[in-house]
Amino acid sequence: MVADTTTLKHPSQKPSIKPDSLKPSAKSDARSKKRKGKATRTTPREPQNEDTSSKVNEMDLLFDTLHTNKKKKKERDAIKSIEVKLEHKRMKKEKEKLKEHIQALETNNKNMTALGNASNPSANPIRYDHDGLPIYSEESLQINRGGNTNECPFDCWCCF
């Protein structure tokens, strides 16, 4: 850096400092002399600008597609969560209806025995397991409700 003191108008002014890069150098003069003799470039620089602009457009398109993909994924996730909630509610309602139906069948499946007012449910199964086998209750099979006959406990038919 070189201080230029020749342009001071007043003694209170500080000298201005010029950076070395602003001073003309011998190298730059030599380059300019070399270029004077050569022809200027005939190809325009615009294709390079188009290349860079196309690269920028490609990048913009890439990020735009990523952004739209994220939006679509969020929308799909929101729709999926709503569908799962609706399915859960529907299954819950079906289970409640099934329980009510089973209770109604159990209450309607009782009949009176010949022995008196004791309820004797029919031996028809109310429920079936997932393999299709019938499930009988202890009451429907009348287990431990033997009659008071001479053939009890082994040869009678009152418990079956």
pTM over 0.75: no
Residue-level pLDDT, tens digit, the chain, 160 residues = 555 555 555 556 665 555 555 555 555 555 555 555 555 555 555 545 556 667 778 888 878 888 888 999 999 999 999 999 999 999 999 999 988 888 887 777 554 444 444 455 566 667 788 888 888 777 777 676 666 666 666 666 665 5
Question: pLDDT at position 55, please?
Answer: 74
User: Can you list the alpha helix ranges (DSSP code H) found in the chain?
Assistant: 26-37, 46-108, 138-141
Sign (positive or negative) of CA dihedral 50, 53, 59, 62: negative
CB 121 within 8 A of CB 110: yes
Question: pLDDT at position 131, please?
Answer: 86
Question: pLDDT at position 67, please?
Answer: 85
Query: Nearest 5°: phi and psi at 111?
Result: -135, 170
CB 135 within 8 A of CB 127: yes
